[in-house]
Homo-oligomer: A and B are copies of this chain.
Amino acid sequence: MAKQARAADDGSAGDALGLLRLSANAIAGERPVFRGVLRLLEERITSGALKPGARLPAERTLAGALDVSRATVVRAYRELESRGLARGYVGRGTFVSAGPDGSGAPFAWRGKLSASALRSGDSVIRDLLRASSDPRLIAGPGGCPATDGFPIDAFRASLDRVLGGAHRELWGLGPTEGLPPLREAIARRFGGRPESTLVLAGAQQGLDLIGRCLIEPGDTVVVDRPGYLGAIHTFRAAGARLVGWDVVRHDLDELEDLIVRYRPKLIYTNPTFHNPTGWVMPMQVRQGLLRLAARFRVPVVEDDTYRELYLSSPPPPSLRSLDRQSLVIYVGTFSKMLAPGLRLGWMTAAEPIIEQLALIKQRADPHTQSLVQLVVADLLETGKFEAHLTELRAEHRRRRDALCSAFKRRRASELVSWRVPDGGLYLWARLHARIKSSVVLRDALADGVGMVNGEVFYVDRAGEGEFRLCFSSIPTSQANAVAERVTRHIRAARADVASPSPLVAVG
């Protein structure tokens, strides 16, 4: 008995025959005969009685047990193989290759996912987007500017102008690279040349294109530590090994060491009002980074999502503007300057690289929506965009100040450290006690305040006591409520840590 159980665990052929409980009766009357054999085997595999990896009985053995010809068994095994349920190996036998997987996927789909899909299993971003669109929250976890200040009147006026214009351009197919009026307006306002500008459905699409264009599974990518979780996900799903460069220290020796040790394919950085920390890379670090990139021929992806969202004075020049060797791929977006819901961004790089990225975009998303391209081009050209940005900065300043004051009033500095950000959208905080931010975040979310756990920004599982709060999405009228709830949940979590639950008496 014990021996038989072990045999079952091994999935040996003798066992398979046992599990099949086959007899000539099992297929009596089915014609052609091989179909009966096939049905029997398929049922056992589908039910899980025969598990993946189990060896099927030798053809001769099964033929004997069922009282059919060996050719019939051979035919049934071939059919099983062609259905992806078994696989034959010369000299070793035929093995079950699929079975119920508990994922709930219909049986026909088992084992069909690509390696790339299997690397995409992490749903943090999707969950974050779901939570961000939950109207019950008073603060959303996603990165969002003050959208209640969206310039709706200017937007409508631009819409009217565009809808009154040429329809072929608006409704017909458009060029993959983007419509000329927007490419030109972007180049005039944000730098780069129209010919080396590729219009995107948001910055994230740009990162995905870069991943597809440059990364092979096994390549190394240096990313900010902590760093933007969308970049982490995208490069990881492309099969990259990620190594983090500490953005708080911004140590060029560390970067050189990483480059020499890992020979990265890319350096990804968000140097200006960094997500999640709000840091700005100093000028000499920018120059040093570019020197290293040139010396070791490593392309640099500059994610410049937050540049225009300064709260006091404009930040230092972009890496792109300092780059003399066409090493920088620059990614920009209107998501934080206008609204994430619009899905509009762009990238610039050396023209042959933009050309290559456009060839990849053409099959993923032949062109970005024409209407939003023309409306935003109009907002830029009429100066309405600039006026909006000025107002947006002022509103973000008010929101940052209201939230920081509210935290001060609640004596939050007893619980948590943060640095008042000078731009961007986020407050990045570190808990004092050895409290896991995940506990605080879970309770705060249930209480209507969405934040993001520090861990998701690190490629090396650090960040346990850190979290990100998007100050720009919290109206000043809600600042007190948010600060009250956050500090209350931290205090509660601290109390739990301080007084661990007593041992439960047994018996």
> Which residues of A pack against B, CB within 8 Å?
82-85, 103-109, 112-117, 120-123, 125-126, 128-130, 132-133, 135, 140, 142-144, 147-148, 150, 152, 155-156, 159, 163, 166-176, 179, 201-202, 204-205, 207-208, 212-216, 230, 233-234, 237, 259-260, 263, 265, 293-299, 325-327, 338-343, 350-353, 356, 358-360, 362-372, 473
Contacts and interface: CB of A to CB of B under 8 A. Distances in A.
A107 B351 CA distance: 13
A109 B356 CA distance: 12
Contacts of A117: 212-214, 356, 359-360
Contact of A112 (B148, B214, B341): B214
B167 A109 contact: no
Nearest to A326: B106
A171 B115 contact: no
Contacts of A123: 359, 362
Given A84-B263, A167-B147, A230-B363, A175 B133 contact: yes
Which of A109, A152, A263, A372 lies at the interface centre, i.e. has the most chain B CB atoms within 10 A of its CB? A109
What 5 A-B pairs come out closest when comparing CB atoms? A171-B339, A341-B370, A147-B171, A106-B326, A132-B173
Contacts of A128: 173
A171 B341 contact: yes
Given A105-B352, A135-B169, A366 B125 contact: yes
Contact of A364 (B135, B152, B341, B364): B364
A144 B121 contact: no
Contacts of A297: 83-85, 107-108
A366 to B, nearest CB: 5
Contacts of A214: 112-114, 117
Contact of A326 (B108, B130, B298, B369): B108
Contact of A175 (B130, B166, B208): B130
How many copies altogether? 2
A295 B83 contact: yes
B202 A366 contact: yes
A117 B367 CA distance: 18
Contact of A135 (B103, B168, B265, B473): B168
A492 B78 CA distance: 56
A464 to B, nearest CB: 24
A83 B296 contact: yes
B372 A204 contact: no
Which of A113, A170, A353, A371 lies at the interface centre, i.e. has the most chain B CB atoms within 10 A of its CB? A371
A142 B259 CA distance: 46
Contact of A202 (B216, B234, B365): B365
Contact of A133 (B122, B172, B260, B362): B172
Contacts of A372: 369, 371
Which of A112, A122, A173, A295 lies at the interface centre, i.e. has the most chain B CB atoms within 10 A of its CB? A173
B148 A350 contact: no
